């Protein structure tokens, strides 16, 4: 099947476990076409290109009948392929890709403007919910240099979720709003943590029709962004965990006087895209063509990633190494380090008395 993909000139498919995934050779579009290399089944989620073997794929892609497809595959006489039809398809695929890009652009701009609206209606963090929530998570607000300006709150904030194409409000209540800034320092997303109304004001329990939902949501475009919790003058060390709580747990421990503490929002953002290396599940080698990955500012001489213990340690370690290697490649002289709280733990667990 892989040989046939090359012979048919189907471009842009990427291996993903036992499959090849990528743009459809007929209608274009991103990641909507897949071929299962074990069963030989192939399917486009948009057009009706589908089937279960090499002959069917040849027929579908080249618009041939059964006999012509066999001729093309293994006959003495090559089948005549309708060049005009192929050109029409190429144009159609291009048009679909252009529309896809437009739609993605539109949704990204809308998400960013939503994030800015939420941020502008949120109130300064030191006034309400934020210190109570931090205290409930073991972070004594009095041990912080200040309540981070990156943290605000909204007293009655709706938790909106898309269910079957409709937006529903699954929950309302107090919410901590964290600003996510891109590399240029512009707010492009907010990280929202719904907080329990009842003391001790931990994470809210959010449920919708009996199903429990994560009490944290990001709105906007978090690519290359970070929650800049603390950035003292003259800092040259950047300590970064995934979450607000783990990163602040590092800050209250105060290991350095001249360190900044930023939350990286999620592991994927800290790592950026990783190169595929044959025979390795996680290479830990950055794909330097990823323009959306987090890169530390130029003042960072030492970048310390805090490793959480709640996911597969091999995968987590590889992703953190990937992010550090990217940073070291782009910022010559930068030293990258990983700090691990302990097996199965994050720094906030340690602060809360585990391990
Ligand atoms: Zn298709």
SS3 33: strand
30 CA to centre of ligand 1 in angstroms:
10
200 in a domain, yes or no? Answer: yes
**Residues belonging to the chain:** 355
Q: Which whole-number Å values give the CA distances from 327 to 230, 281, 305, 321, in the listed order?
A: 20, 22, 11, 10
44 CA to centre of ligand 1 in angstroms:
5
Among candidate residues 222, 244, 277, the one where a domain is terminated: 222
- Residues with CB under 5 Å of ion ligand 1 are 24, 26-27, 44, 46-47, 49
81 CA to centre of ligand 1 in angstroms:
19
Burial tier of 142 (Cβ tally within 10 Å: 0-12, 13-18, 19+):
exposed
Q: What global pTM score does this model have?
A: 0.79
Instruction: Return the pLDDT at 202.
Output: 93
94 CA to centre of ligand 1 in angstroms:
12
What CATH number does residue 243 fall under? 3.40.1360
Among candidate residues 173, 198, 222, the one where a domain is terminated: 222
Q: Are residues 144 and 186 in the same domain?
A: yes
71 CA to centre of ligand 1 in angstroms:
24
Q: Are residues 35 and 155 in the same domain?
A: no
The rounded distance, in Å, linking the Cα atoms of 152 and 163 is 28
8 CA to centre of ligand 1 in angstroms:
15
104 CA to centre of ligand 1 in angstroms:
18
Domain that holds residue 295: 225-355
pLDDT tens, N- to C-terminus, the chain (355 residues): 988 998 888 888 888 888 999 888 888 777 789 999 999 999 998 888 999 999 999 999 988 899 989 988 887 766 677 778 778 877 877 787 788 889 889 999 999 999 999 999 999 987 789 999 999 998 989 889 899 999 999 999 999 988 888 889 999 999 999 999 999 999 999 999 999 999 889 999 999 989 999 999 999 999 999 999 999 999 999 999 999 999 999 998 877 888 999 999 999 999 999 998 888 889 999 999 998 999 999 999 999 999 988 778 899 999 999 999 999 999 999 999 999 877 777 777 877 776 5
Instruction: Return the pLDDT at 353.
Output: 74
């Amino acid at each position: 099947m892989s040989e046939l993909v090359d012979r048919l000139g189907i471009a842009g498919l990427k291996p993903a476990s036992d499959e090849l995934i990528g743009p459809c050779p007929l209608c274009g579009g991103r990641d909507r076409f897949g071929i299962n290399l074990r069963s030989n089944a192939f399917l486009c989620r948009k057009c009706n290109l589908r089937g279960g073997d090499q002959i069917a794929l040849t027929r579908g892609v080249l618009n041939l009948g059964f006999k012509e497809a066999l001729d093309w595959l293994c006959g003495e006489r090559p089948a005549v392929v309708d060049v005009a039809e192929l050109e029409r398809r190429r144009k159609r695929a291009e048009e679909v890709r252009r529309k896809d890009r437009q739609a993605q652009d539109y949704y990204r701009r809308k998400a960013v403007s939503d994030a800015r609206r939420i941020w502008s209606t949120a109130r300064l963090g030191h006034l309400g919910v934020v210190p109570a929530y931090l205290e409930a998570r073991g972070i004594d607000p009095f041990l912080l240099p200040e309540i981070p300006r990156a943290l605000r709150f909204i007293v009655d904030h709706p938790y909106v979720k898309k269910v079957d194409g409709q937006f529903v409000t699954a929950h309302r209540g107090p919410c901590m709003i964290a600003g996510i800034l891109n590399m240029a320092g512009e707010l492009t997303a907010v990280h929202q943590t719904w907080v329990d109304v009842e003391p001790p004001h931990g994470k809210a329990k959010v449920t919708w029709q009996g199903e429990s939902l994560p009490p944290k949501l990001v709105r906007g475009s978090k690519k290359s962004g970070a929650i800049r919790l603390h950035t003292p003058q003259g800092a040259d060390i950047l300590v970064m965990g995934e979450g607000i709580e783990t990163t602040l747990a590092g800050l209250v421990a105060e290991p350095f006087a001249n360190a900044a503490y930023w939350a990286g929002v999620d592991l994927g953002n800290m790592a950026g895209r990783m190169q595929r290396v044959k025979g390795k599940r996680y290479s830990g080698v950055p794909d330097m063509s990823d323009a959306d990955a987090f890169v530390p500012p130029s003042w960072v001489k030492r970048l310390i990633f805090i490793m959480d213990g709640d996911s597969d340690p091999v995968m987590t370690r590889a992703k953190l190494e990937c992010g550090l290697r990217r940073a070291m490649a782009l910022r010559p002289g930068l030293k990258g380090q990983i700090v691990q709280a302990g097996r199965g733990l994050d720094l906030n667990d340690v602060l809360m008395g585990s391990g």
